[in-house]
Amino acid sequence: MFRIAISRLTDDGHHITTEHRGTAMSVDEALLALREHLPTVDTSAFESDAVQRSVNRVNDFRHDVHTPDGGRYRVVIAPMM
């Protein structure tokens, strides 16, 4: 199982406000939650294998994404311990 957190970044990343927290049974399910919460975000950096390798290596996957309207978000996918 995985934890997923989607947070809005403001003030050049100095302020982080969590907008969504959830759990997923797989990396693919976590990516589905991301697409549901931020449908306009390019998720090409979130390939299932890349996320899984990062989780295995450093215990989580973090990636900042941007929406077409200028929003900036940090997505974290981490294993449930």
Helix axes 27-37 and 48-58, enclosed angle (nearest 10)? 110
- Cα–Cα distance measured from residue 48 to residue 7, given in angstroms and rounded to the nearest whole number: 20
- The pLDDT, as a whole number, for residue 73 is 95
Q: Which amino acid is at 32?
A: L
pTM, two decimal places: 0.85
Which residue ranges of the chain lie beneath pLDDT 70?
Answer: 81
pLDDT in tens, 47-65: 778 888 887 777 888 999 9
- The pLDDT, as a whole number, for residue 25 is 93
